[in-house]
Amino acid sequence: MSETFELGTIPPMGAVPKMMKAVVIRPEREGEPETAMQIEDIPVPECGPTDVLVMVMAAGINFNGVWAARGKPVSVMKMHPEEQFHIAGSDASGIVWKVGSAVKSWKVGDEVVLHCNQSCRECPSCNGNDPLACQRQRIWGYETNYGSFAQFALVQPQQLLNRPPHLSWEEAASYGLTYFTAYRMLLGRARIQAGDNVLIWGASGGLGVFAVQLTKLAGANPIAVVSREDKAELVRSLGAEMIIDRREFDLSKGESETRRFGKKIRELTGGEDADIVFEHVGKYTFPTSVRVAKRFGTIVICGATTGYDLDFDVRYLWMRQKSIIGSHFANAFQAEKAHKLIFAKKIRPVLDQVFNFEETAHAHQLMAENKHKGKMAVRVQAPVPAS
């Protein structure tokens, strides 16, 4: 087997080269994605007895790649100090290329999609509670190295899901992280019910497009927040009827604008506040989220794009008995349940743009600047379609 192979050429099934092309972040160039992420040749990682090596056909762009590139609020190098370089990417579609000697459920040649939760698989939390409670729980491609922006990715077998046959490699790579996260947030943590009004921040973004679809599927009512007309069109195409353009409100002004925002929600719903607020924007929106949730309502949060040091008026929380619930990715069981809805075509990927591997940094830069909508993916080994 030769040392390396060109992008898009497929070596004989199961033959592992010594080196691979990878989009690499190094500590000395942490910063904006466009400069932090560069293509290098890197040794293909060893596939241990309990590991699986996947040839990556396509990889999905996620905000954690932006955090990894910036090295803020924490440098990912601290998470694997023995390797001072980082290959990001927590979504992929691909082909199983090598399996460790202890792996029983998958074989070389299987076509797969990956979920990004890793855990020890040995502790009580992994064997009876929830692997998200495992002390060694990690997000693959963010807290671990050898993510999806490379010709090969190193994963645990429990991360693999069958590739839906009706999807292209790029579509199949585009949804895992955000869709499975939105599924856990709404169905697992906030326990959405038919008829609920659900305020969805960033409804046209990676999490939002799935939150809108899941809310509709549950028989509940999305209130979709967007900031551009084409984003409003996108969420409308997913079934959202109640749409708020957040440019009409300056939430940084505090009380008066927050109240006006709440009034807008009630105008749309016929007088109801939000039963559930779907949060991931953080600092900029959180005071409003706490305010506009209904009495006994729920704010479910998984991220903080605009800042994690949140500031809100707690009186609205206790007097009206609201709950704030944290949520983080999904376990394999939830990922599998959510994935069945993709097979059944009840939930669809919302792939807006596909890039070549060389444009991985650029795609992350678009996300960092909020210049995208829906999901983006890059081709790794998948063929470039004939023009």
Where on the chain is the footprint of ligand NAP (CB under 6 A)? 62-64, 177-178, 181, 201-202, 204-208, 225-227, 231, 246, 280-281, 284-285, 302-303, 305-306, 328-329, 367, 370
Q: Residue number with the shortest CB distance to ligand NAP?
A: 205
Q: Which is nearer to ligand NAP, 32 or 110 (CB)?
A: 32
Closer to ligand NAP by Cβ: residue 137 or 204: 204
Q: Min. distance of Cβ 293 from ligand NAP in angstroms?
A: 16
Give the residue with the Cβ less far from ligand NAP, 98 or 231.
231
Extract the tokens encoding 107: 């074989």
Instruction: For the CB of residue 310, give the shortest distance to ligand NAP in the complex, in Å.
Output: 13
- Min dist. Cβ of residue 360 to ligand NAP (A): 16
Nearest of 178, 173, 172, 170 to residue 204 by alpha carbon: 178
Of 219 and 326, the one with the shorter C-beta distance to ligand NAP is 326
Instruction: Check: CB of residue 77 under 8 Å from CB of residue 120.
Output: no
Q: Which CB atom, from 280 or from 379, has the smaller least distance to ligand NAP?
A: 280
CB of 184 to ligand NAP, least distance (A): 8
CB of residue 271 vs ligand NAP: minimum separation in angstroms? 24
CB of 60 to ligand NAP, least distance (A): 10
Kindly list the distances between the CA atom of residue 303 and the CA atoms of 20, 267, 282, 327, 363, in Å, as whole numbers in the listed order: 32, 28, 7, 9, 20
Give 26 or 328: the residue with its C-beta nearer to ligand NAP. 328
